[in-house]
Chain A
Amino acid sequence: EPEVTQTPSHQVTQMGQEVILRCVPISNHLYFYWYRQILGQKVEFLVSFYNNEISEKSEIFDDQFSVERPDGSNFTLKIRSTKLEDSAMYFCASSEDGSNPVGFGPGTRLLVL
């Protein structure tokens, strides 16, 4: 069964550094998402992406965040200048048509020191 994959599985960075989290969505899916989960808290929506542009974003997704689909398979989340509070598990997800169940990747655990 096709799965969403994410790299790296863990990333440790210094505050103020840029990080890029990578995802390969399920191949026939058209909607892509990033969610995050701070330890012990709920899964929170960051951004959705469709047709090569952001379709929705939350208040969390400020100017420090950006997303890109640089080729036909990868979907990336960039954090330009990381803050301590960016430490979280970041999940990539994809959906066939935006209303079907979203498949989640295994996550990237980001630790900002």
Chain B
Amino acid sequence: EDQVTQSPEALRLQEGESSSLNCSYTVSGLRGLFWYRQDPGKGPEFLFTLYSAGEEKEKERLKATLTKKESFLHITAPKPEDSATYLCAVQAADTGNQFYFGTGTSLTVIP
């Protein structure tokens, strides 16, 4: 059973059209939830870490939030350069130091 599920798989937005990406997790004893951005052919680039429910982090047009079951990555007034795949990963108490990744949401922002 997948421990991290991301939705939607793909999202197309007009420039300036705000939206949210979802990451649902089923691990027990969450140690951290991590958001990464991945451009084609590149390694994941770290965006945020969230450790506890209710926590929020912001960076430019991105805002990440966390509940006990899921995390949202809110994108406000996106620009074409925000186009990328956004990955969610979790680290849990019963999985040591390894990260479990979701399959990602491929975001395309159209000018």
Instruction: Give the number of chain B interface residues (Cβ < 8 Å).
Output: 23
Shortest CB distance B52–A (Å):
13
B32 and chain A: residue at smallest CB distance: A99
Contact residues in A for B97 (Cβ distance below 8 Å): 31, 33, 48, 50, 55-56, 95, 98-99
Complex: A102 Cα to B67 Cα, angstroms: 22
Which residues of B32-82 have CB atoms within 8 Å of chain A's CB atoms? 32, 34, 36, 41-46, 49
Contact A45 B99 (CB under 8 A): yes
Contact of A48 among B41, B89, B98, B102 (CB under 8 A): B98
Contact with A along B3-45 (1 / 0, CB 8 A): 0000000000000000000000000000110101000011111
Partner among A31, A45, A50 whose Cβ is within 8 Å of the Cβ of B100: A45
Interface presence of A41 (CB below 8 A): yes
CA distance A50 to B91 in the complex (A): 17
How many Å lie between the Cα of A50 and that of B34 in the bound state?
21
- Contact A102:B99 (CB < 8 A) given known A42-B104, A43-B87: yes
Q: How far is the CA of A44 from the CA of B100 in the complex (A)?
A: 7
* Partner-contacting stretch, out of A66-74, A75-83, A104-112: A104-112
Out of B42, B46, B102, B103, which one reaches A102, CB within 8 Å? B46
Is A58 part of the contact surface with B, judged by Cβ < 8 Å? yes
- Across the interface, B103 reaches (CB within 8 A) one of A41, A45, A56, namely A41
Contact B49 A107 (CB under 8 A): no
List the B side residues contacting A25 at CB < 8 Å. Answer: none
A8 to chain B, nearest CB (A): 14
What are the residues of chain A within 8 A of B111 when measuring CB–CB? none
User: Which residues of B have CB within 8 Å of A58?
Assistant: 98
Q: Please report which residues of chain A, range 6-46, place their CB below 8 angstroms from some CB of chain B when the two chains form the complex.
A: 31, 33, 35, 41-45
Q: 10 tightest CB-CB pairs across the interface, nearest first?
A: A104-B43, A43-B101, A45-B98, A98-B97, A101-B46, A42-B103, A104-B44, A56-B96, A106-B43, A107-B43
